[in-house]
Amino acid sequence: MTPFPDRAQVVVIGAGIVGNSVVHHLARLGWRDILLLDKGPLPDPGGSTGHASNFVFPVDHSREITLLTGDSMRQYSELGMLTTCGGIEVARTPERVQELHRRMSSARAWGIDAELITPAEVAQDVPCLDPTVLLAGFRTPSVAVVDPLRAGELMRQRATEAGALTVAALTEVLGIDTEDDRVRRVRTDRGDVDTEYVVVACGVWSPRIARLAGATIPLTPAVHQMIDVGPIAELAATGREIAFPIIRDMDPLMYERQSGADLEIGSYAHRPILYEPDEIPSAAAAALSPTQLPFTPDDFDPQMEAALDLFAGVLDRPDAGIRHAINGLLSLTPDGHPLLGETPEVRGLWSAAAVWIKEGPGVGRLIAEWMTAGAPEIDPHAADIARFAPHERTRSHVRARASEGFNKTYGIVHPREQWGSDRGARRSPFYERERALGAEFFEVAGWERPQWYGANSPLVAELGVEGRPHEWDARWWSPIINAEHLAMRRGVAMIDLSAFSQFDVSGPGALAYLQHLTVAQMDRPVGRVIYTPVLGPDGGFRSDLTVVRLGENRFRVVTGGSDGARDLAWFARHRPGDGSVALADVTSAVCTLGLWGPRARDVLAAVTDDDVSDAAFPFATARELTIGSTPVLALRLSYVGELGWELHAAPESGLRLWDTLVEAGAPHGLVPAGIGVYGTTARIEKGYRLMGHELDAEHGPVEAGLALSGLKSQDFVGKAAYTKAREGEPEATLCTLRLDDARDTAGLRRYPQGGEPLLTPDGRRVVDRRGRPSYVTSAGAAPSLGTHLLMAYLPPGYAAEGTGLVVEYLGERYPVTVARAGRTPLFDPDDSRMRG
Amino acid sequence: MMLAMVERDGDGALTAESAEVLATARGLAEQCGVPVGAVAVGDAGDLPDDLAKRGIATLHLLQHELLADGEPASVGEALAGLVTALRPAAVLAADGGRCTDAMAWAAAALDAPLATACTEIRPGDEWEVTRERSGGILLEDAVLAAPVRFCTLRPGGPSPSETAAAAEVTVHVVVPELGTSVPRARLVERTRRSSGMTLASAPVVVAGGRGVGSAEGYGVLEELAGLVGGVVGCSRVATNNGWRPHADQVGLTGTRISPDLYVACGISGATQHWVGCMNARAILAVNTDPEAPMVSRATWAVIGDVHAVLPAVVAEIRRRSEGG
Amino acid sequence: MDVLVCVKRVPAVGAEILLTADGTAVDTRHLGFTIGPHEECAVEEAVRIAERTGGAAGVLTVGAPETEEQLRYAMSMGADHAVRVDAPGADGDPQATAAAITGALRDLPPYDLVLFGAASADAGHAQVGVRVACALRRPVVGGVKGIELDDGCVRLRREVGDGVEVHEAPLPAVVTVLEGLNLPRYPTIKGRLRAKKAPIRVLPAAPAAGDLRLRRLRHRPEARAATIVLGRGADAAPAVVDVLTDLGMVRR
């Protein structure tokens, strides 16, 4: 056996495709003394890599996942471990046909060759299938199968040849020691290893290993059933592991692929069968491997019937038997995304978990870049392990969402679709009032937020709001949103914003600390409200948020609910270690109501003795007010483009604040409005950008139109890149496009939802010089403008007002016009309403 | 007394297994302070002399035309009759095949338990045995709660030794009354086995897996198998890749084998495969990965690529045979 | 010709077997269940005989309701019907098992041939078939690797040492078989779906305790020597041939 080291620069735990890929890329980026551990033997230590079905479909609706998959395919190919066989997703139902059109749009958006084909064409590619049960197919020629075990061996070999890697199989991790919440040591049954970095790439065992260090990796092992049926003469005759395209039979949530002489059938349709990480058998206790558990045939029978429908010609033969059947374990997370990055709890403890075979090498590269440079090339926004609120890391939440999400693996998931399980984790003090008003609650970070209020439905007719004729466009949507919007613009609305994440930064080092993390000048007078981008080291967006200077050395940071946990981790990670800065999460200590509209001042003046005139309380300032007897921190700013305030109060006073405003607002036409207005309609009319949509690590403030007029002298994260970007012409500019009266072939008015590709009128993709495609980052109604708006980054030449393009939405193309290049709002361009 | 059922080979000599049975019986008899009686089917032949050297003084010879074939129902019925008459504390026989079947019939006829595959017998107030389970991976300790203890013995017990105190052997010829109402199977043909070797029966299996790389890659395995008198097997990867027919597959979903030597070429040794070859007496692993499970479980290993190692081995065998 | 196969539910173990904490059983928490290889061959043979002769192949087990999984497996291989002798606390004692099967066979319509595996894959008592034959006064041949049907009898091939014996047994008969009898088929998808819906006849078992009482299980003390590495690459060839020569597989 290789000698076991007592120290390492980094210890990578888990020698599946992810761990092997991480060590390979770390070695490539110059790391040395890398130790790769696995409890199991090599080359197949017994994790999910060893039994995966190993096929790669490159098209995903998520750009992040598509990029990771694409990078992985390049790496597999470069290792000689990729066999292109093509793949077809087939539809048996009209709804699935529509979804295939959506897939087609995503393929076009991300630049992946694909086409929609007829059942007869499907049968031409895969002759042993019965096309009569099908309606359509979505063919991607680049679909491939890979050999992740062999790829992993080659990656280890390269790192070993670079003199960077020691591999220790059959080595069990017994503990991970931390000091001051930082990794110090890994204890194993072969000795202790001093190290400052640990990468947990243990797949289904990751939660167990992370727990040794006091961190959580919120995933659950779950069963994915698969069987091999054969021998099938037509398949055997090819003499190859795979010669026919892989079929994803999407409606019954299953797939069929050739595997030598066999047809392998896998399913995501059976009941969710979850395991506890501690219950996974050891290699000794398992008949096949720890992650290949005994097949439970009763769960699979419906899939057999579905497979028989499609492949009766080859499956219904006396000599084609079920030769292999397993309950394979894979990792499921609460939101279906991977768990990547440094854990928020322990410095130096990195997670590379919940990764499919198709993303493995890409994730290895991403983690290695992130560890080396502080930021990876591919934005890990949706996969960042820091994204979870505390309750989302609990066992019961993970199990509830994993159970619900399992059947969505091949499901048709609407972009606005809400989770059904484990709801109501966080409720603002206004919740009961909102419920009484018929609120339709959407969830963010566990918070229940009204998206719209049923009680406002009379406004729809009163304000003449149109519905959406197509069910898909109208799903998880209501015309009430547009009515609430118009009511706000006409009078005044109040909006529950308690889901905001808020943290207080204080201490003698507070100012310098914030200066370092933000683009805007923080050294402003006490009482100023400062909007600022927060950048990563490469100048791309990390966040955008509002900072309120509450005192000389006291600031409050207010950021969006969905990114709050990520932002808190970012702030915590950059806190100086000398104790000069205190950082406190005050999210749960504050509830927030927004009060906006032309009549907002009338309402506020009615409930406070404080002077709220523009002179006394100008835009972009904050003041303590008393509303009735409730002390409130009021911020005069707006994300909806109206005069008004965010009112921050103690949660226990929230109900009284609500009631006071409702009473005082009645004569002024106050309506409650939902996040549909705040997050979409009012925002998009004002051209405001949203983190995770317009704002991402791929784009900086210059391209997003959010560059500030001055450049502060203080250094800050991302300054060099930001400075450079300011000096040149942007490669792309965020634009707002108008979609006027788009009607489909059935004559129905249609409303794209976001994510769609933008094409030239003759159907070509629009891509900037850095290879970034133009696609719809946000889409929404603009009721005050009487249109539907889209936002998208466009390269020079296209980013000019009046440019005509088309958007492809569910198989049809609609003309759009660039209405604005840059940040100037289409609605109230000089912001006179909110400054009034 | 202890009753030991013994068998003789084609030349009339006591089989090795029966010699072990006698040795065990004598050990138990000494512990219990009782005599040993042997029981055999057929004529006396040289058996009394052989028994005398082993210190056994009593031989019961079962003689009946129906017993000539060793047919279990007849032998079992005859044995049951003898046991009823002699009331021994235990009846011992070698484990396996027709002997076990005859013991089972006798035990069934007397409604007595039978402990097969025993490795140890411990007499006492309660008789306890240790027996093999699961193909020998496990041992079972069990109590035989009956006045007559039927046991069959796995080979490898106390080594049979001749004793200086040669006994005078008394031979009792017993002609059992075998019921004619019971229909019996009869031996109608006996031939030497044809030597066609199968995966299951071959003394050497040269098997290849992922590391062989292609169907053509098996050529060198065929060559080696031919030189050492074996056959070629493969892992599931090879079958799935269409490199070999399924009949060649060793493993959970193929054939489980127990050759004298298993040569595992480019097979990592995943459990799926391992359960198919774990009963091999010896394993030679050829693998590029020194940490592959097949390597750590093997008797011998060569670290290297199949296509580097095997041609060299074949060449070496040819060189030596030509040189010799 | 009607054939019945008696099968036993056994854990599908891997290379190592874990025991429960009290050492009285195999730890099956993470294991699936199966029938042994000998019994798979028996089922295959029964199905073939039934197909060939236009008869029926039945399958029987003794045990709790969960043992029906194995009956359905056998039916998915082609068995036509199944019987479970209900014995919820059955511990696999061969006397008790044989008594239960014998009782059931007296209640069931007659079978021409009753097949057993020569030994179960777990306990390996290797005697239930013979005990049943004894109780029913049927001819029995054990360890069979070939079955041929003849007029009113079966010809049974078994391997002994260096030879092959053929036995002839009048019907009805009991036969215990060994793996190698045939190459058992895998269950088909259609077979599985049919088996899932097939009714299973449940017969009561008279409670019977055996006299072989299991005290505990343990692992055989293993003396696995460390692997001897003969060398690397082609340079190892002489050492390999030395080993082959010592084993007598290459002429000296």
Q: What pLDDT, in 10s, does the model give residues C202-224?
A: 999 877 778 999 999 998 776 56
Please give the Cα distance from A203 to B19 (Å, whole number): 57
Give Dmax over CA atoms of chain B in angstroms: 68
**Taking CB atoms and an 8 Å limit, are C33 and A319 in contact across chains?**
no
Checking if the pLDDT of B195 tops 60, the result is no
For a pLDDT cut of 90, what percent of chain A falls above it?
93
So what's the pLDDT on residue B253? 53
Return the amino acid letter for B152.
T
Residue of A322, A324, A327, A329 best to disrupt the C interface, most CBs of C under 10 A:
A322
Mean pLDDT of B173-177: 93
So what's the pLDDT on residue C152? 87
Nearest to B253 among A42, A153, A323 (CB): A323
For a pLDDT cut of 70, what percent of chain A falls above it?
100
Alpha-carbon distances of A182 from A19, A32, A349, A795, B222, rounded to whole Å? 21, 20, 8, 44, 57
Name the CA radius of gyration of chain B, rounded: 25
Please give the Cα distance from B263 to B301 (Å, whole number): 9
Could you identify the residue written with the tokens 């002390």? A631
So what's the pLDDT on residue B196? 67
So what's the pLDDT on residue C15? 63
Please give the Cα distance from A411 to A66 (Å, whole number): 17
Half-sphere exposure at residue A176, Cβ-oriented, CA atoms within 13 angstroms:
28
**Taking CB atoms and an 8 Å limit, are A260 and B239 in contact across chains?**
yes
Mean pLDDT of C111-131: 94
> Which residue of A lies nearest to B271 if distances are taken between CA atoms?
A288
Torsion over CA: C186, C191, C192, C197 (sign): negative
Nearest to C81 by CA among C205, C206, C197, C172: C197
* Structural domain containing residue C113: 3-204
Please give the Cα distance from A288 to A281 (Å, whole number): 10
Mean pLDDT of B36-48: 93
Mean pLDDT of A259-264: 92
Helix (H) or strand (E) holding B227: helix B219-228
So what's the pLDDT on residue B194? 58
For A78, residues 6+ apart whose C-beta sits below 8 A from its C-beta are none
Whether omega for the bond prior to residue A281 falls within 30 degrees of 0, making it cis, is: no
**Taking CB atoms and an 8 Å limit, are B253 and A324 in contact across chains?**
yes
* Residue pLDDT, tens place only, A712-764: 999 999 999 999 999 999 999 999 999 988 999 999 999 999 999 999 999 99
* Residue pLDDT, tens place only, C58-93: 999 999 999 999 999 999 999 999 999 998 777 889
Residue C212 lies inside a defined structural domain of this protein: no
Checking if the pLDDT of A1 tops 50, the result is no
**Taking CB atoms and an 8 Å limit, are B116 and C127 in contact across chains?**
yes
Q: Does A238 touch chain B if contact means CB atoms closer than 8 Å?
A: yes
Residue ranges, CATH 3.30.70.1400, chain A: 501-588
Strands A220-230 and A321-332: antiparallel
Nearest to A289 among B210, B242, B271 (CB): B271
The number of helices, as runs of H, and strands, as runs of E, in chain A is 23, 40
Task: Give first-to-last CA distance, chain B, whole Å.
Answer: 58
CATH for the stretch A10-47+150-218+335-388: 3.50.50.60
CATH classification of A58-64+76-146+220-331 is 3.40.50.300, yes or no?
A: no
> Which residue of C lies nearest to B205 if distances are taken between CA atoms?
C249
* Same-domain check for residues B162 and B288: no
- Of the three residues B174, B196, B228, the one that is the final residue of a domain is B174
Q: How many CB pairs under 8 A join B and C?
A: 262
Checking if the pLDDT of B246 tops 70, the result is no
Which is more confidently placed, C7 or B159? C7
Half-sphere exposure at residue A264, Cβ-oriented, CA atoms within 13 angstroms:
22
So what's the pLDDT on residue C228? 93
Residue C217 lies inside a defined structural domain of this protein: no
- Residue A394, classified by CB atoms within 10 Å of its CB into exposed (0-12), middle (13-18) or buried (19+), is middle
Strands A165-168 and A34-37: parallel
Tokens of A255: 């797939």
Q: Does C190 touch chain A if contact means CB atoms closer than 8 Å?
A: yes
**Taking CB atoms and an 8 Å limit, are C237 and B309 in contact across chains?**
yes
Tally of domains within chain B: 2
CA angle C104-C109-C115, nearest 5°?
65
User: What's the residue count for chain B?
Assistant: 324
Residue B180 lies inside a defined structural domain of this protein: no
Please give the Cα distance from A407 to B109 (Å, whole number): 59
So what's the pLDDT on residue A740? 82
Q: Does C189 touch chain A if contact means CB atoms closer than 8 Å?
A: yes
Mean pLDDT of B128-135: 88
Return the amino acid letter for B244.
R
User: Exposed e or buried b for every residue in A422-438, given b needs 16+ CB within 10 A?
Assistant: beebbbbbbbebbeebe
Tokens of B152: 């069959």
Phi, psi for B6 (deg, rounded to 5): -120, 155
Residue ranges, CATH 3.30.9.10, chain A: 58-64+76-146+220-331
- Using a CB-CB cut-off of 8 Å, the residues of chain C touching A318 are 185, 188
**Taking CB atoms and an 8 Å limit, are A261 and B215 in contact across chains?**
no
The shortest C-alpha distance from B261 to chain A (Å) reads 23
Tokens of A538: 């490469």
Strands B282-287 and B261-265: parallel
So what's the pLDDT on residue B199? 84
**Taking CB atoms and an 8 Å limit, are B193 and C215 in contact across chains?**
no
Please give the Cα distance from A677 to B314 (Å, whole number): 79
Nearest to B289 among A42, A283, A324 (CB): A42
**Taking CB atoms and an 8 Å limit, are C12 and A294 in contact across chains?**
yes
Which is more confidently placed, A242 or A43? A242
Please give the Cα distance from C33 to B206 (Å, whole number): 30
- Using a CB-CB cut-off of 8 Å, the residues of chain A touching B241 are 240-241, 260
So what's the pLDDT on residue C220? 75
Residue B186 lies inside a defined structural domain of this protein: no
Alpha-carbon distances of A471 from A410, A477, A749, B248, rounded to whole Å? 21, 10, 11, 57
* Same-domain check for residues B166 and B302: no
Alpha-carbon distances of A441 from A398, A477, A628, B74, B322, rounded to whole Å? 21, 11, 29, 83, 87
Residue C161 lies inside a defined structural domain of this protein: yes
So what's the pLDDT on residue B324? 54
Residues facing residue A140 across a β-bridge: A87
Whether omega for the bond prior to residue C172 falls within 30 degrees of 0, making it cis, is: yes
* Residue pLDDT, tens place only, A413-463: 999 999 999 999 999 999 999 999 999 999 999 999 999 999 999 999 999
**Taking CB atoms and an 8 Å limit, are C134 and B227 in contact across chains?**
no
- Using a CB-CB cut-off of 8 Å, the residues of chain A touching B293 are 41
Q: Does C194 touch chain A if contact means CB atoms closer than 8 Å?
A: no
Nearest to C139 among B73, B193, B315 (CB): B73
Phi, psi for A656 (deg, rounded to 5): -70, -40
Mean pLDDT of A214-230: 96
Give the CATH number, domain containing residue C66.
Answer: 3.40.50.620
Residue ranges, CATH 3.50.50.60, chain A: 10-47+150-218+335-388
Specify whether the CB–CB gap between A576 and A516 falls below 8 A.
Answer: no
**Taking CB atoms and an 8 Å limit, are A41 and B292 in contact across chains?**
yes
Tokens of B308: 């580097």
**Taking CB atoms and an 8 Å limit, are B253 and A288 in contact across chains?**
no
So what's the pLDDT on residue B164? 55
Please give the Cα distance from A694 to A736 (Å, whole number): 11
Specify whether the CB–CB gap between A127 and A70 falls below 8 A.
Answer: no
Residues facing residue A247 across a β-bridge: A88, A256
Name the pLDDT band for A86 (thresholds 50, 70, 90): very high
The topology (CATH level 3) of A501-588 is Alpha-Beta Plaits (3.30.70)
So what's the pLDDT on residue C223? 56
- Using a CB-CB cut-off of 8 Å, the residues of chain B touching A286 are 271
Specify whether the CB–CB gap between C77 and C44 falls below 8 A.
Answer: yes
Nearest to B242 among A43, A44, A239 (CB): A239
**Taking CB atoms and an 8 Å limit, are C251 and B143 in contact across chains?**
no
Give the CATH number, domain containing residue B49.
Answer: 3.40.50.620
CATH architecture of A591-666: 2-Layer Sandwich (3.30)
User: What's the residue count for chain A?
Assistant: 836
A71 as an active site residue: the answer is no
Residue C242 lies inside a defined structural domain of this protein: no
Give the CATH number, domain containing residue B238.
Answer: 3.40.50.1220
Q: Write out chain C in H/E/C secondary structure.
A: CCEEEECCCEEECCCCCCECCCCCCECCCCCEEECCHHHHHHHHHHHHHHHHHCCCEEEEEEECHHHHHHHHHHHHCCCCEEEEEECCCCCCCHHHHHHHHHHHHHHCCCCCEEEEECCCCCCCCCCHHHHHHHHHCCCEEEEEEEEEEECCEEEEEEEECCEEEEEEEECCEEEEECCCCCCCCCCEHHHHHHHHHCCCEEEECCCCCCCEEEEEEEECCCCCCCCEEEEEHHHHHHHHHHHHHHCCCCCC
Q: Does A294 touch chain C if contact means CB atoms closer than 8 Å?
A: yes
Alpha-carbon distances of B6 from A668, A675, B47, B110, rounded to whole Å? 110, 91, 10, 20
- Using a CB-CB cut-off of 8 Å, the residues of chain B touching C159 are 193
- Using a CB-CB cut-off of 8 Å, the residues of chain C touching A316 are 188-190
The shortest C-alpha distance from B164 to chain C (Å) reads 33
* Structural domain containing residue B297: 204-323
Return the amino acid letter for A533.
P
- Which chains are within 8 Å of C by 3+ CB pairs? A, B
So what's the pLDDT on residue A801? 96
Residue C216 lies inside a defined structural domain of this protein: no
Residue ranges, CATH 3.30.1360.120, chain A: 591-666
> Which residue of C lies nearest to B136 if distances are taken between CA atoms?
C220
* Same-domain check for residues B221 and B118: no
- DSSP state, A196? S
Tokens of A108: 């076009």
A741 as an active site residue: the answer is no
Q: Does A2 touch chain C if contact means CB atoms closer than 8 Å?
A: no
Nearest to A262 among B215, B240, B291 (CB): B240
Tally of domains within chain C: 1
Could you identify the residue written with the tokens 């109590």? B143
* Residue pLDDT, tens place only, A176-211: 999 999 999 999 999 999 999 999 999 999 999 999
Strands B231-234 and C173-177: unpaired
Supply the mean pLDDT for chain A. 96
- Using a CB-CB cut-off of 8 Å, the residues of chain C touching B137 are 13, 16-17, 219-220
The shortest C-alpha distance from B111 to chain C (Å) reads 8
- DSSP state, A598? T
Name the pLDDT band for A798 (thresholds 50, 70, 90): very high
Q: Does B138 touch chain A if contact means CB atoms closer than 8 Å?
A: no
Nearest to C220 among B137, B296, B298 (CB): B137
Please pick, among A76, A197, A255, A751, the residue that the annotation labels catalytic: A255
Helix, strand or coil, per DSSP, at residue B79: helix
Could you identify the residue written with the tokens 């499609």? A310
**Taking CB atoms and an 8 Å limit, are C247 and B315 in contact across chains?**
no
The shortest C-alpha distance from A377 to chain C (Å) reads 42
- Using a CB-CB cut-off of 8 Å, the residues of chain A touching B268 are 41-44
- Using a CB-CB cut-off of 8 Å, the residues of chain C touching A288 are 14
So what's the pLDDT on residue A225? 95
> Which residue of B lies nearest to C160 if distances are taken between CA atoms?
B97
Specify whether the CB–CB gap between A324 and B237 falls below 8 A.
Answer: no
A544 as an active site residue: the answer is yes
Alpha-carbon distances of B200 from A289, B260, C55, rounded to whole Å? 25, 11, 31
Nearest to C134 by CA among C166, C102, C158, C161: C102
* Same-domain check for residues B123 and B208: no
Specify whether the CB–CB gap between A39 and A171 falls below 8 A.
Answer: yes
**Taking CB atoms and an 8 Å limit, are B292 and A43 in contact across chains?**
yes
Checking if the pLDDT of C14 tops 80, the result is no
Checking if the pLDDT of B259 tops 50, the result is yes
Supply the mean pLDDT for chain B. 89
So what's the pLDDT on residue C180? 74
Residue of C189, C192, C197, C229 best to disrupt the A interface, most CBs of A under 10 A:
C189
Nearest to C142 among B98, B112, B312 (CB): B98
Mean pLDDT of A92-116: 97
Checking if the pLDDT of B252 tops 60, the result is no
Please pick, among A544, A563, A567, A768, the residue that the annotation labels catalytic: A544
- For the beta carbon of residue A674, count every other beta carbon within 10 angstroms: 28
Mean pLDDT of C98-125: 94
